[in-house]
């Protein structure tokens, strides 16, 4: 009986030790961004701020290591093509200086659900590869875009918002020419006025303005554009806001510039 008692005691000690080890091992597997993931879930699902709250899936914040990937998995992808996640430092640099770390382009989905380059900023990693608006992106990081969408990892495929991150792309021009390359993230200046030009139709001059955002550098860029419109004596003005993501309210309320 005494020996049996010792045996049972040893078994009990082993079980407690193994149980403690299992908890220790499991805790190391938890996402280091658990608190951030929980906050993201509460914003999209719990606080009803997200337009498609009822369509947000219930995904354990502990189950996904990368917060960008977790955010991407929660989005209602059948409709939502606009939501994104960013850091405060990146947000402030963008709105105050027009700077951000990235590849220097934006994308959108066409009617056939192909991922297309919507615009490319000058002097950016993507522009240096000769990629222009309208190019189709078929692969990111060696994986098909359709596969990334289905797995909810499209945002994560672009990599962290850090200088030095390298990602490969496979693109196709509108003429059908395919190109595969790798580019490295670095600080990029985001132009607010991507295009400003004047064209004539029926002997009437019309100004065209492609306005990407309302940030601090927007003021100087708008001044340059409207000086051209004034010199050309334009009578009509087209302001293209299709890819405008908004910006600071005081820029929107700024004193208008007179053309004539």
Cβ within 8 Å of residue 80, ≥6 positions away: 51, 52
DSSP per-residue letters across 142-183? TEEHHHHHHHT-HHHHT--SSTT-EEEEEEE-TTS-EEEEEE
**100-190 CATH:** 2.30.42.10
Task: Give pLDDT, residue 83.
Answer: 81
Q: What is the pLDDT along the chain (260 residues), one digit of tens a residue?
A: 343 443 333 233 333 333 333 333 334 456 678 888 898 888 888 777 788 988 899 888 888 888 888 888 898 877 886 787 877 777 777 778 888 899 999 999 999 999 999 999 999 999 999 999 999 999 999 999 999 988 888 888 998 878 999 999 999 999 999 999 999 999 999 899 999 999 999 999 999 999 998 888 998 999 999 999 999 999 999 999 988 877 777 776 665 555 55
**What does each C-alpha distance from 232 to 205, 236, 259 come to in angstroms?**
8, 11, 10
Task: Give pLDDT, residue 189.
Answer: 92
Task: Give pLDDT, residue 26.
Answer: 32
Instruction: Look up residue 45 and give its DSSP letter.
Output: I
Task: Give pLDDT, residue 15.
Answer: 32
Measured CA to CA, the distance from residue 205 to residue 237 in angstroms comes to: 9
Domain boundaries, the chain: 1-30, 32-85, 100-190, 193-252
pTM: 0.63
Task: Give pLDDT, residue 69.
Answer: 85
Measured CA to CA, the distance from residue 121 to residue 14 in angstroms comes to: 62
Task: Give pLDDT, residue 259.
Answer: 54
């Amino acid at each position: 009986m005494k020996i049996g008692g010792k045996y049972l005691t040893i078994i009990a000690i082993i079980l407690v030790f193994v149980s403690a080890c299992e908890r220790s091992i499991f805790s190391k597997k938890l996402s280091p961004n658990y608190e951030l993931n929980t906050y993201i879930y509460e914003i999209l699902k719990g606080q009803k701020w997200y337009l498609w709250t009822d369509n947000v899936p219930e995904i354990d914040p502990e189950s996904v290591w990368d917060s960008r990937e977790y955010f991407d998995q929660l989005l209602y992808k059948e409709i939502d093509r606009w939501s994104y996640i960013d850091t405060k430092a990146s947000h402030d640099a963008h709105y105050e200086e027009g700077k951000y770390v990235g590849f220097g382009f934006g994308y959108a989905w066409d009617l056939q659900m192909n991922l297309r380059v919507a615009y490319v900023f000058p002097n950016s990693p993507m522009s240096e590869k000769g990629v222009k608006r309208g190019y189709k992106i078929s692969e990111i990081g060696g994986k098909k875009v359709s596969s990334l969408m289905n797995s909810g990892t499209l945002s994560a495929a672009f990599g962290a918002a850090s200088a030095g991150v390298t990602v490969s792309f496979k693109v196709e021009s509108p003429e059908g020419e395919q190109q595969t390359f790798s580019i490295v993230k670095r600080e990029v200046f985001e132009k607010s006025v991507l295009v400003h030009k004047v064209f004539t139709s029926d002997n009437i001059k019309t100004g065209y303005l492609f306005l990407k955002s309302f940030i601090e550098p927007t003021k100087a860029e708008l001044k340059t554009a409207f000086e051209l419109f004034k010199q050309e004596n334009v009578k009509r003005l087209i302001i293209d806001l299709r890819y405008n993501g908004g910006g600071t309210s005081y820029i929107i309320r700024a004193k208008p510039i007179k053309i004539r």
